[in-house]
Structure 1
Amino acid sequence: METALTRRQLVAWRTAIFTIFLIMGVGFASWASRLPAVKNDLGINDLQVGVLLFVSGVTSIAGLSLANVIVARWGARRGMFATIITFALGVVVAGAGVEFLQSYVVAAIGLGLMGLGMSATDVMMNVEAAAVEQAFERTLMPLFHAFFSLGTVAGAGLGVAMAALGIGVGWHLGAAGLLVAVAGLLSLRAVPVRESMHDDPATSITRRERLAEVLAVWRDPRTYAIGAIMLGMAFAEGSANDWLTIAMVDGHDQTEAVGAIALTVFSVAMTTFRVLGGPLVDRIGRVWSLRILSIAAGVGLVMFILAPNLPIAFIGIALWGAGASLGFPLGMSAAADDPRKAAASVSAAATIGYLAFLCGPPILGWISHEIGILPTLWIIVALIAMSGLASGAAKPIAGSKVGAGHAHH
């Protein structure tokens, strides 16, 4: 039996999930921002750095699969206690492995734990965010993702400051891991126990029935259509993070500083639209928002590829960032429309999106090695078009309280 929550409990729950999104961003970027120091301290080359990132990628995919089982067995709230600790421990172990032990193997173990904890927490925090959204009856998912983006900006900024002050990777990541653990566990205390999330051990449903629910979503065509929306937009977002600076330098013959500015413009456009996205979706609906933004992303990317000068390239980058901003959060939101299937559906959709994030950049790198970086970006234009065409799948199901829009009220 679900008990109705008071306004104060709802706000505390929303704040708790905002905090978890934020600290996961901080923890992730704390590591990423110190890669040059990691390389230096361990005395490794780019290929060996790539292997470390590959370890994290593989365990991330394992974490996505595990998240499903954890939620089915223990619920998202209890599950996150374990996965946030796993992630925080990974951050600390990676830092200690790099600076104090100078051990490549220990650093790899830390990254493995980080990947596992990060992706499993990611599924659960999105499941909780979707439940908060339904409770408030407003589109909030883009704002949750904006908090993650703000966390990565803060984490990267702290990383720059730590490097400038000459503070070692071990001390920096140790503090970051501790922050994630403490803030995460304190936040979870404000997350309510709900039977629909399998948080209540006294519930009538058996474990076997829960696992059957988990597997059933993979037989639902809507899962794959939502996956197509997220795949296209995850490629649009991930390719910018990994290749935009290189495309500026190698494709448009700009300096590295201009490349860094380009990535900043992309990130700012994306974060801004995530902050502003909710009210737009509540006005015109999820499907039309996705269609309009996929056109903006596609047009922006074409402008960037063909740009005859810098101003046009920058306008293109801003459109590309704004257009790619809501595909992933609205895909998560759509997957979670049915609260009974939310955990399984979000996990399935996230798996498809994550595979694009993890596998996309290396595939693009291989193709760009053959044909050059700017021609390679036409592949992303095609994937954005696919995402736009699949947008109809994000139509809210009957009974869902968010995403339909109310332009006609």
Structure 2
Amino acid sequence: MASATGKTTATEHFAPTNGESSPEPISPIHAAPEFFGPTGDKHEAGATPDEEANSADRLDHEKTGWFAYLTTRNFWIVLVLGQVLALCITGTNTFSTLLAEQPFSIPAFQTFWNYVLLNIIYTSYSVYKYGFKGYLRTVLVRSWWKYIILSFLDVEGNYFTVLAYRYTTILSAQLINFWAIVMVVLISSIFLRVRYHWTQIVGILICIGGVGILFGSDHITQGSTTGGISSGNQLKGDLFALAGATFYGMSNVAEEFLVSKRPLYEVIGQLGFWGMLISGAQTGIFDRDGFHSATWHDGKVGGYLTGYTLLLTIFYTGAPIMFRLASAAFFNISLLTGNFWGVVIGVKVFHYSIYWMYPIAFVCIIGGLIIYFVGKNVLGEARKPWLGKNQERGVNGIGTARRRVENPEVIV
């Protein structure tokens, strides 16, 4: 999805901002004119190309020093948002465990309703913003293949993760988190040309070290404080966890790329639309036996599915904002605290007990999250290397660096 191009005097119509201004032309419905410079990049009326070329640099260096980003409002927003998302994913893992105990094991069907809800909310809003013809032409006709790839990766990540929780508990979560981080760093470096600062590498390693403390704690206690390390075939569960983490890593990077260029409602809506179709087809093909063996008469199943779906929908709404404000790498290391939150929740739900090493691991991971941003400038990771020096190839939306450049007074 490249940036829009045009002649020096060309004027085209774009979707209304409302926090989401697309860099590509769409239906003239609900539209407002914007202007293009000699290179085809949009800029505000009255601003010279030289002023625009330096605006991102000027904003990025408003504060200097190793702790420049740590003193910004966005750092605290990113840190808190990461923990909210970790709590959401911990909640979905808890509901997955509760469903498996019923027994209820229909992996694709379990996540199908999340995609249905995302589609209802965000595709409807996309049609409203673009108009029906604009939606068909701009989203379905031009970009369908990109969203099918994103949705397939995401659906398979969810599918294998749910399967992993049938066989293992703590180890699966640790494997998923660790391997997803490895995949995200590798893919971002190779395909998006992201270059990680040495403090970011140190921060990631410290966070992984915190997970190692959690694993060591479970090894010492033989899982007695967390309900047991394994609940079935350990090797099969580990392989499912690695497969899920691989798909998650690829989908996270793909989504970070897409939401940096397109409005949030479009990306989430298309993820829901195609995810619903892919997950529905997968349910019909692979989950037929699960329908026969599942417990349906117990009202708990409906409650657990509802809780799982609502939490996952909140998670899918917040994750793209994290991808814009920070990155797929920071998103994944933020989720490492989910292991700690899982035990905290498990104390009440599954009657776990917290071993003394768990708080140490939590502090270690939070410390790694802070160190990750040491040495970053004011815009932090919101300034994406693939969007151009002044982010001209990106969308002007919530959490983007371009939004901050064009309107420095915005909160996010």
Q: For this structure pair, what is the TM-score category when the shorter chain's length is used for normalisation? A: 0.3 to 0.5
Q: With a CA cutoff of 8 Å and minimum separation of 6, indicate the structure with the bigger relative contact order.
A: 2
Greater gyration radius: 2
Structure with the higher helix share, 1 or 2: 1
TM-score (norm 2): 0.36
